[in-house]
């Protein structure tokens, strides 16, 4: 569903506007302290991650982190690969096990 504040497609955003309702939620960030608000979608990297990496084995999880002294909040995303059973360092690229051809382009020949 498209996020109204950014216009980007996000698979975890849900908005119910049928017959005057106004219910919005993020299904990725369920229980978080501070709670999720629509303003967090402005800086959320999930739409860009999903666009860059469509690996079916990668599971995203997210939380909202407060900045220094509680000033400023941002969404922090972590990823896990169910095929290689390891934490994914860069969710935009994915793990090296699911897409081994990527290593051919990133490693320099000797």
Tell me: pLDDT of 102 over 60: no
In a domain, 20, yes or no: no
Q: Tell me whether the omega of the peptide bond preceding residue 34 falls within 30 degrees of 0, making it cis.
A: yes
**If pLDDT is split at 50, 70 and 90, which confidence band does 106 have?**
low
* 52-91 residue pLDDT tens: 998 899 999 999 998 887 788 899 999 999 999 999 999 9
DSSP state of 83: T
Residue 97 inside a domain? The answer is yes
Does 12 reside within a domain? Answer: no
Q: What single-letter DSSP state applies at residue 2?
A: B
Domain-embedded: residue 9: no
Q: Within the chain, where are the H helices? A: 46-52, 101-106
Q: What is the span of the domain harbouring residue 62?
A: 29-106
Two tokens, residue 85: 């059973």
Q: How many domains does the chain have?
A: 1
Q: For residue 24, is it within any domain?
A: no
Paired with 9 in beta bridges are: 2
Per-residue pLDDT of 10-67, as tens digits, reads 999 999 988 888 999 999 998 888 889 999 999 999 999 999 998 899 999 999 998 8
Note whether residue 66 is domain-resident: yes
């Amino acid at each position: 569903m498209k996020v109204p504040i950014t216009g980007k497609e996000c698979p975890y955003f849900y908005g119910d506007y049928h017959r005057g309702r106004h219910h919005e939620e993020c299904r990725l960030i369920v229980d978080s302290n501070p709670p999720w608000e629509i303003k967090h979608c402005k800086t959320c990297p999930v739409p860009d991650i999903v666009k860059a990496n469509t690996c079916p084995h990668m599971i995203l999880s997210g939380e909202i982190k407060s900045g220094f002294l509680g000033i400023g909040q941002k969404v922090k995303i972590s990823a896990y690969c169910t095929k290689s059973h390891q934490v994914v360092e860069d969710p935009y690229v994915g793990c090296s096990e699911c897409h081994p051809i990527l290593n051919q382009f990133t490693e320099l020949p000797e």
